[in-house]
Amino acid sequence: MEHTPTGDPAYHAAVVDLLGVLAYGELTAFIRMAVDSDLAPTLSLKSAMAGLAHAEYVQYTQLVEHMRARGIDPEAAMAPFVVPFASYHERTRPRGWIEGLVKAFVGDGIAKDFYREMSAFVDDDTRAVMGHALDDAGQADFVVGVVRDTLKTDRTAAGRLALWGRRLLGEALSQAQAVAVERDAMSALLVGGGVDLAEVGQMFTRLTDNHQKRMALMGLSA
């Protein structure tokens, strides 16, 4: 994969966008997960969900430090993404603990898959900090067991949560689409990286495939 030289202003703008969307995504994920941890039925689950939220915050601060060290204003970088993330979270407000849990697992998974795809088009330094922010210590693994247990005892849950998963994917892709239209530089990164439309299509296929795998892991159809 070719890398546009870091001196190129268009490339710089794309990287600022990418770090901004990643950082703000982590910050809002932190807030939403903390909010949703309050719905947990037990102290142990509340603590586990709070731990997920905490991991997002730590990754957020790492990205902010990285941006500051490179003379990027983190707030300016994040600002364009306030509205899309607010829309996403507004449209995917969980109606209960299990929906919040599935959202944490599925939403985070989609976001991280997307950033992993994008990290192929950036310089090594940026890819390293993105990789760090995308590092998953398996803290979300408890979600799988909790959802599977719920499916055993609640017969209506499977259908409801399968729909919920589809909704989460749809809303995430629709916000990503809106961001792509709005943020030329970030989209140009794909095109500048020699990516044609067919390859963008394949990227979306990979994203939905991974989504399906995550849903299957929880015992849900996608």
How many CB atoms sit inside 10 A of residue 136's CB?
Answer: 11
How many CB atoms sit inside 10 A of residue 108's CB?
Answer: 21
Decide if residue 221 touches a second copy (CB under 8 A).
no
In angstroms, rounded to a whole number, what is the distance separating the alpha carbons of residues 87 and 89?
6
Q: Which stretch binds a second copy (CB under 8 A): 48-56, 120-128, 146-154, 205-213?
A: 48-56
Selected from 14, 78, 104, 161, the binder of a second copy by CB under 8 A is 78
| Cβ 221 to a second copy shortest distance, Å | 32
How many CB atoms sit inside 10 A of residue 77's CB?
Answer: 23
Which region, left, alpha or beta, applies to residue 71 given φ > 0 means left and ψ of -120 to 50 means alpha? left
In angstroms, rounded to a whole number, what is the distance separating the alpha carbons of residues 159 and 37?
23
- Touching a second copy, residues 55-74 (CB under 8 A): 57-58, 60-61, 64, 74
Using a 10 angstrom Cβ sphere, with 0-12 exposed, 13-18 middle and 19 or more buried, the burial of residue 194 is: exposed
Size of the site for a second copy (CB under 8 A): 27
- Touching a second copy, residues 1-40 (CB under 8 A): 24, 27, 30-31, 34-35, 37-38
SS3 content of the chain, % helix, strand, coil (to 5): 80, 0, 20
Decide if residue 195 touches a second copy (CB under 8 A).
no
Decide if residue 44 touches a second copy (CB under 8 A).
yes
| Cβ 45 to a second copy shortest distance, Å | 10
| Cβ 78 to a second copy shortest distance, Å | 6
> Could you list the residues that contact a second copy (CB under 8 A)?
24, 27, 30-31, 34-35, 37-38, 42-44, 46-47, 50-51, 53-54, 57-58, 60-61, 64, 74-75, 78-79, 82
